[in-house]
Amino acid sequence: EVQLVESGGGLVQPGGSLRLSCAASGFTFSSCAMSWVRQAPGKGLEWVSIISTRGTNTYYADSVKGRFTISRDNSKNTLYLQMNSLRAEDTAVYYCAKDLRAGQWSYSMDVWGKGTTVTVSS
Amino acid sequence: QSALTQPASVSGSPGQSITISCTGTSSDVGGYNYVSWYQQHPGKAPKLMIYEDNKRPSGVSNRFSGSKSGNTASLTISGLQAEDEADYYCSSYTSSSTFGVFGGGTKLTVL
C-alpha cells in the first residue's frame, strides 16, 4: 500500500523551531518529487515547498522562504521540513504529498499523508 | 504568490451538473498544462481528481472532468451525488515562483 505518514508536529512558541518528518512506503520514494502543503485552521491549501528526486532542486513559498528548509533522505525513504523562526501564522496542518509522475515534475500530487498539526503560540 | 481565483461556493441538486472555475494568468493557468483539481472532505487529506488540465487518475469517477480556456480552468461534475459535497481546490504550476500555487477553494453544496 502506498503510504505517507507525517510526524513531528506540536505546540511551539513564536520564534521556535520544529522539524517535521514524512515516512514513505509502498513506492519508489527516490523517483518522485515531494512537497509540503499546509492548511491553516478554516483556510485553504498553501503549497509550502517542493524538492526534486535527488534533493538538488528546492523551491519555497515566499511566506516561508529563508525560514523553512525542505530535505530528503532517499536511503531512509523520508522527507523533512525544518521550520525555524516560527510565527503564529505558521499554525496549520502540514501535509506531505507525492508527485504523480516518477522521474519528472507533474505539479500534481496523487498521494497525501493525513497531516501533522503545528501550533505556534505562547 | 497570488492564489488562483475560485468562487467561494457553488451548489446543485442531485443529478445536476455544476462547474467550478479557476482563473489565473498566462504565468500559470494559461501558460502551462499543469492545472490540477483536488477534492477535500472535512478533516481529510485532499484527493487528486484531475491533473494536467483534463486527465483523470485511475479510480476517479468519469463524472469529473477538467477543461481550460485561456487563463481559466474549469472542473465539471455531472450527475451530482451527495458524496460530492466537499471543498474543491485548483492548483497550477506558476513561472513566478517556479513551482505551484493553489486557488482559494470552492465549497460545493449538494442540495
Q: How far is CA A114 from the centre of its chain?
A: 12
Q: What is the DSSP string of B74-96?
A: EEEE-S--GGG-EEEEEEEEETT
Measured between CB atoms, does A106 come within 8 Å of chain B? yes
Per-residue pLDDT of B26-79, as tens digits, reads 999 999 999 999 999 999 999 999 999 999 999 999 999 999 999 999 999 999
- In whole numbers, what is the pLDDT of chain B averaged over residues? 95
User: Does the beta-carbon distance from B102 to A44 stay under 8 Å?
Assistant: yes
User: Does the beta-carbon distance from B91 to A106 stay under 8 Å?
Assistant: no
Measured between CB atoms, does A51 come within 8 Å of chain B? no
Ramachandran angles phi, psi of B78, nearest 5°: -100, 160
Per-residue pLDDT of A52-80, as tens digits, reads 999 999 999 999 999 999 999 999 999 99
Per-residue pLDDT, A103:
85
Per-residue pLDDT, B97:
76
Q: What is the DSSP string of chain A?
A: --EEEEE--EEE-TT--EEEEEEEESS-GGGS-EEEEEE-TT--EEEEEEE-TTS--EEE-TTTTTTEEEEEETTTTEEEEEE-S--GGG-EEEEEEEESSTTS--S-EEEE---EEEEE--
Distance CA A110, CA A114 (A): 13
**CB neighbours of residue B75 within 10 Å:** 28
Cβ partners under 8 Å of residue B110, min gap 6? B11, B12, B13, B14, B80, B81, B82, B84, B85
Per-residue pLDDT of chain A (122 residues; tens, 9 = 90+): 999 999 999 999 999 999 999 999 999 999 999 999 999 999 999 999 999 999 999 999 999 999 999 999 999 999 999 999 999 999 999 999 999 999 888 899 999 999 999 999 99
Please state, for a pLDDT cut of 90, what percent of chain A lies above it.
96
**CB neighbours of residue A14 within 10 Å:** 13
Instruction: Select from A45, A105, A113 the Cβ nearest to the Cβ of B102.
Output: A45
Beta A34-39 vs A45-51: how paired, if at all? Answer: antiparallel
* Min Cα–Cα distance to chain A from B80, Å: 23
Longest dimension (CA), chain B: 40
